């Protein structure tokens, strides 16, 4: 009797929606943790390598500049080739960036690279993340938008950004443990391993049965920037740019302000500032994970209340005379940012068609980094050359302006009142 014809093995079943989203959350968590690990690592590394303290800002600013211009490209590209390959590419580039950064540091510590050459090498290794690692966030956000109904989208995008916030919260603690036991370079290597594993898992297990409904004509990079001026999306991007400036300004000057206001320095200042940052990050995380799903607010409501709370937190920081007040100010601002960020990200997604999700997500991610390009001026420069309250005064004016903008914007009201465009992809896939 002839042997029965062999049948090809059945493909592995796609993970359930919860498992699918957990892969994305894990990817964003790894990126958030790795980025936050650099904050406590770079100052001692820079001094050990003989670099000036001011050089650290240039490393991050150039990466942020690349991030601004590359994110829309990768978002648009994900509309054409699918979300999964772009998400995996960004994670792989992030892993490469961390590996190159660690390698440059080790070469510098060995004395084989010094001075300007070392500085340029560090900038270029970090720039890999801004130029190509920026692909993950817009593609991941568009992936969630593809598979969410309009009523689910803000909540799910909030969960995605909360994963990044969780990584940013635990990153410094993980860094302290690893650096204390294995040295300053080991956290960089650890992040490289995690990012590489996340890239492989995404490529292997993230399901994408159909590509996004791309336009008939091949989209051009410049089309993404034209979309930024579209009346549907522009109000959300303006708000997001304002939030980005506030975030960069406050992060850069909070420790300096705490030191001067409380008269502390050195290790005590670092410990007290870390407590404030941790409380703010936890408040943001709790808001996005627990509060937003229960509120069921429109995007404009999240944006206006979020802006008002950020303004209130800034006022409290300006008048506080003790550590408790400064920590509470970070807590209030954390809630405000936790409401405002998913508000403008989710609203921007709902304002465009399914064919434009990747491009819109790229622009949203771009404005998240755009503020960090100019926040050294509104933060450190204003603090040094004007007054210690100057960055907070500027930030308060921006927070009030963006809140009033949301409350008075007819475009936002028109966008939210319009029926949602039809989705052509099964949100449960």
- HEC string for 114-181: CHHHHHHHHHHHHHHHHHCHHHHHHHHHHHHHHCCCHHHHHHHHHHHHHHHHHHHHHHHHHHHHHHHH
> Does 243 lie in the same domain as 186?
no
Where does the pLDDT of residue 14 fall: very low under 50, low under 70, confident under 90, or very high at 90 and above? very low
Residue 344 has pLDDT above 80, yes or no: yes
Count of structural domains, the chain: 2
What pLDDT is attached to residue 418? 46
Residues 259 and 378 in one domain: yes
Average pLDDT of 334-363?
79
- Is position 139 within any domain? yes
Residue-wise DSSP of 392-407: HHHHHHHHHHHHHHHH
Interatomic CA distance for residues 63 and 73, integer angstroms: 15
Q: Which of 180, 209, 238 is the last residue of a domain?
A: 209
- The one-character DSSP state at 421 is P
Tens of pLDDT, residue by residue over 354-370, are 767 667 777 777 787 77
Assess whether 99 and 238 both reside in one domain: no
Q: Are residues 107 and 186 in the same domain?
A: yes
Rg (CA), the chain: 22
Same-domain status, 345 and 300: yes
Model-level pTM greater than 0.85? no
DSSP per position, 269-330:
HHHHHHHHHHHHHHHHHHIIIIIHHHH---HHHHHHHHHHHHHHHHHHHHH--SHHHHHHHH
Q: Is residue 322 part of a domain?
A: yes
Q: CA angle 422-425-427, nearest 5°?
A: 95
Last residue of a domain, one of 175, 209, 243: 209
Q: Flag whether 348 is in a domain.
A: yes
pLDDT cut 90: percent of the chain above it: 18
pLDDT band (50, 70, 90) for residue 385? confident
Q: What is the mean pLDDT of the chain?
A: 78
> Angle CA(64)–CA(66)–CA(72) in degrees, nearest 5?
105
DSSP summary character for residue 217: S
CATH number of the domain encompassing residue 181: 1.20.1250.20
Domain-located, residue 373 = yes
CA angle, corner 370, sides to 369 and 373, nearest 5? Answer: 100
pLDDT tier for residue 400 given thresholds of 50, 70 and 90: very high
Across 396-408, average pLDDT: 92
- Residue 5 forms part of a structural domain: no
Q: Do 184 and 289 fall into the same domain?
A: no
Both 74 and 160 in one domain: the answer is yes
Report if residue 11 sits inside a domain: no
pLDDT tier, 221 (very low <50, low <70, confident <90, very high otherwise): low
For residues 79 and 168, state if they share a domain.
Answer: yes
Is residue 7 in a domain?
no
- Model confidence pLDDT, tens digit, residues 262-280: 887 655 666 677 778 778 8
Domain encompassing residue 255: 227-419
Q: Which residue has better confidence, 104 or 13?
A: 104
Instruction: Retrieve residue 32's tokens.
Output: 């958030």
Q: Which of 13-22, 57-66, 195-204 has the lowest mean pLDDT?
A: 13-22
Higher-confidence position of 299 and 318: 318
Rounded mean pLDDT of 139-143? 84
Whole-angstrom Cα distance, residue 121 to residue 104? Answer: 7
Provide the pLDDT confidence category of residue 163 given band limits of 50, 70 and 90: confident
Same domain, 261 and 343: yes
């Amino acid at each position: 009797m002839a042997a029965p014809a062999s049948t090809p093995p059945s493909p592995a079943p796609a993970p359930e929606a919860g498992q699918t989203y957990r892969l994305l959350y894990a990817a964003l968590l790894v990126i958030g943790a790795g980025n936050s690990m650099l904050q406590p690592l770079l100052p001692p590394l820079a001094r050990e390598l003989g670099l000036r303290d001011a050089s650290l800002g240039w490393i991050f600013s150039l990466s942020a500049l690349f991030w601004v211009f590359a994110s829309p490209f990768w978002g648009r590209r994900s509309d054409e080739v699918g979300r999964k390959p772009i998400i995996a590419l960004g994670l792989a580039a992030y892993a490469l960036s961390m590996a190159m950064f660690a390698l440059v540091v080790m070469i510098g510590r060995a004395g084989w690279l010094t001075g300007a050459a070392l500085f340029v090498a560090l900038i270029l290794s970090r720039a890999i993340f801004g130029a190509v690692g920026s692909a993950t966030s817009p593609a991941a956000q568009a992936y969630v938008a593809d598979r969410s109904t309009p009523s689910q989208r803000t909540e799910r995008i909030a969960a995605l950004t909360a994963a990044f916030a969780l990584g940013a919260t635990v990153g410094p603690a993980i860094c302290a443990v690893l650096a204390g036991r294995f040295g300053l370079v080991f956290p960089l290597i650890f992040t490289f391993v995690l990012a590489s594993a996340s890239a492989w898992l995404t490529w292997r297990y993230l399901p994408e049965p159909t590509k996004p409904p791309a336009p008939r004509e091949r989209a051009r990079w410049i089309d993404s920037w034209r979309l930024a001026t579209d009346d549907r999306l522009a109000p959300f991007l303006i708000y997001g740019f304002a939030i980005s400036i506030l975030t960069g300004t406050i992060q850069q000057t909070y420790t300096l302000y705490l030191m001067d206001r409380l008269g502390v320095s050195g290790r005590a200042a670092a410990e007290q500032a870390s407590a404030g940052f941790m409380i703010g990050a936890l408040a943001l995380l709790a808001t996005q994970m627990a509060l937003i799903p229960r509120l069921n607010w429109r995007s404009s409501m999240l944006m206006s209340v979020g802006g008002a709370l950020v303004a209130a937190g800034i006022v409290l920081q300006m008048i506080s005379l003790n550590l408790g007040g400064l920590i509470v100010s970070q807590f209030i601002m954390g809630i405000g940012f936790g409401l405002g960020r998913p508000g403008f990200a989710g609203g921007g997604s709902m304002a465009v068609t399914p064919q434009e999700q990747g491009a819109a997500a790229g622009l949203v991610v771009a404005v998240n980094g755009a503020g960090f390009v100019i926040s050294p001026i509104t933060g450190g420069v204003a603090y040094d050359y004007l007054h210690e309250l100057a960055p907070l005064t500027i930030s308060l004016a921006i927070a009030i302006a963006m809140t009033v903008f949301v409350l008075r914007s007819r475009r936002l009201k028109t966008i939210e009142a319009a029926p949602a465009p039809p989705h052509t992809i099964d949100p449960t896939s």
